[in-house]
Amino acid sequence: MALALQTFATVKDANAALKAVGTRYLGGGTLVVRAANEGDVSVSSLVRSTDPAQSAIAVAGGKARIGASVTMAAIARHPGLAILAKAARAVGGPAIRNMATVGGNLFAPAPYGDFAVALLALDATVGTEDGELPIETFLPGRDGSRAIVTSVSFTLPKADGFRFLKVSRVKPKSVSVLSIAAILEQAADGTVSSARIALGCMADRPMRARAAERALKGKSLDQNGIAAALTAASEGIAPITDPIASAWYRAEVLPVHLGRLLLT
Partner 1 sequence: MAKVPVQFTLNGSEKAEFIDSGTTLLNALRDKIGDTSPKGGCHQGTCGACSVIIDGELRLSCLTLAETCNGTTITTTSGLSESGVLHPLQRAFLDTFATQCGFCTPGMIMAAKVLLDHTPNPSRDEVVEALSGNICRCTGYEPIIQAVLTAARANSQNAA
Q: In what order do the strands lie in the sheet with 57-60?
A: 57-60, 63-67, 149-155, 125-128, 131-134
One-letter amino acid identity for 245?
Answer: A
Task: Please choose, out of 27-35, 81-89, 183-191, 223-231, the segment that lies near ligand FAD by the rule CB under 6 A.
Answer: 27-35
Cα–Cα distance measured from residue 131 to residue 145, given in angstroms and rounded to the nearest whole number = 13
Size of residue set near ligand FAD by CB under 6 A: 29
The DSSP 8-state label assigned to residue 221 in this structure reads S
Strands (E), the chain: 4-8, 23-25, 45-49, 57-60, 63-67, 125-128, 131-134, 149-155, 162-168, 176-186, 192-200, 207-208
The residue (of 95 and 263) whose beta carbon lies closer to partner 1 is 95
* Distance separating alpha carbons of residues 29 and 52, to the nearest angstrom: 18
Which of ligand FAD, partner 1, none interacts with 148 (beta carbon under 5 to 8 A by kind)?
A: ligand FAD
- Restricted to residues 113-142, the positions that interact with partner 1 (CB under 8 A) are none
Touching ligand FAD, residues 175-234 (CB under 6 A):
175
173 binds partner 1 (CB under 8 A): yes
Considering only the stretches 112-120, 180-188, 241-249, 256-264, report the one whose residues sit in contact with ligand FAD under the rule CB under 6 A.
112-120
**Binding to partner 1 by residue 98, rule CB under 8 A?**
yes
Residues engaged in binding partner 1 (CB under 8 A): 1-5, 7, 26, 28-30, 33-34, 36-38, 46, 48, 73, 92-96, 98-99, 172-173
